Amino acid sequence: MKKLVVFTGAGISVESGLPTFRGTDGLWEGHRIEDVATPEAWQRNPELVQRFYNKRRSDCIAALPNKAHYKLAELQNHYDVQIITQNIDDLHERAGSNKVLHLHGQIRKSQSSINPNLIYNITGDKIEMGTFCELGSQLRPHVVWFGEAVPNMEEASKMAQQADLFVVIGTSLQVYPAANLIYETKPDCKLFLIDPNADQYTVPPVVVKIAEKASRGVNYLAKLITE
Ligand code: NAD
């Protein structure tokens, strides 16, 4: 089977009711990124950061996968599909995708605030202040904040290098190093970009731009690559 690698961002979950980060106001659910999604924010005000992600977590649990997530899972009947996602939600998994690599962590897990390798499943939708890892430090959301290393980047690069088809969906390609993946593919790899704002993004001319929302765009792509 040919390898189809799909790189997704917040845009794929918009039709599930989960907003992207860079809305027109430049805020994420009313907050500046620096106040909720950096190690400094956690140092300054861990309660605020914990509350912010507790709300994101309950929103994710309440959300349902949309047609784009389901169509990508269906493509596993035709291709060896590997999803690489910047999203912290679990909508790809819940739609049935079997191979999902999370670059920026998973909202439904917690991690030690002194050892990022100590990761735990969360029961319920909250991490309470005062719950500790086995080393005795406060548990924090298992997400990669701005300014932190992206531990799965090397694995993602290898996947991109092996792709026969590489599809980018719903990302502004502004978050590095993830945005570089498109440049790591083989010379004969077929490249696609699905995003309603695709026309505004600068990508190599060989990239086929599908300027649609994720559900329509993935449906169109699926026809194109399975017929
Ligand atoms: P971004 O906000 O930079 O870009 C979102 C992109 O989605 C834009 O290009 C926009 O044009 C596009 N878009 C909007 N509506 C769409 C639709 N219906 N269908 C397809 N595309 C649509 O998002 P990003 O580049 O993914 O930002 C990265 C960070 O945001 C990630 O690290 C992630 O951790 C975090 N984040 C995750 C979630 C989530 O897990 N659902 C939500 C918000 C932010």
Report the 3 state secondary structure along 65-124.
CCHHHHHHHHHHHCCEEEEEECCCCCHHHHHCCCCEEECCEEEEEEEECCCCCCEEECCC
Q: Are residues 163 and 214 in the same domain?
A: yes
Give the domain extent around 208: 1-18+65-104+150-227
Out of 16, 21, 101, 210, give the residue to mutate to test ligand 1, the one with the largest number of ligand atoms within 8 Å of its CB. Answer: 21
Give distance in angstroms: CA of 20 to centre of ligand 1.
4
Q: Which of 104, 124, 105, 127 is nearest to 49 (CA)?
A: 127
CATH number for the domain spanning 224: value is 3.40.50.1220
Whole-number mean pLDDT of the chain? 94
Q: Ligand 1: which residues within 6 Å by Cβ? A: 9-15, 18, 20-22, 86-89, 104, 170-172, 174-175, 195-197, 213-214
Q: Which long-range contacts (CB under 8 A, 24 or more apart) does 40-44 make?
A: 40/147, 41/145, 42/113, 42/140, 42/145
Task: Provide the token pair at 77.
Answer: 């009947």
In the block, residue with structure tokens 């792709």: 163
Q: Are residues 76 and 159 in the same domain?
A: yes
Q: Which residue has the higher pLDDT, 177 or 62?
A: 62
- Band (pLDDT 50/70/90 cuts) for residue 25 is low
- Band (pLDDT 50/70/90 cuts) for residue 184 is very high
- Band (pLDDT 50/70/90 cuts) for residue 56 is very high
Model pLDDT for residues 136-173, shown as the tens digit of each residue: 999 999 999 999 999 999 999 999 999 999 999 999 88
Q: Are residues 96 and 157 in the same domain?
A: yes
Statement: residue 22 has pLDDT above 80: no
Q: What proportion of the chain, given as a percentage, has pLDDT over 70?
A: 98
Q: Are residues 49 and 36 in the same domain?
A: yes
pLDDT at 46: 97
Model pLDDT for residues 85-129, shown as the tens digit of each residue: 999 999 999 999 999 999 999 999 999 999 999 999 999 999 999
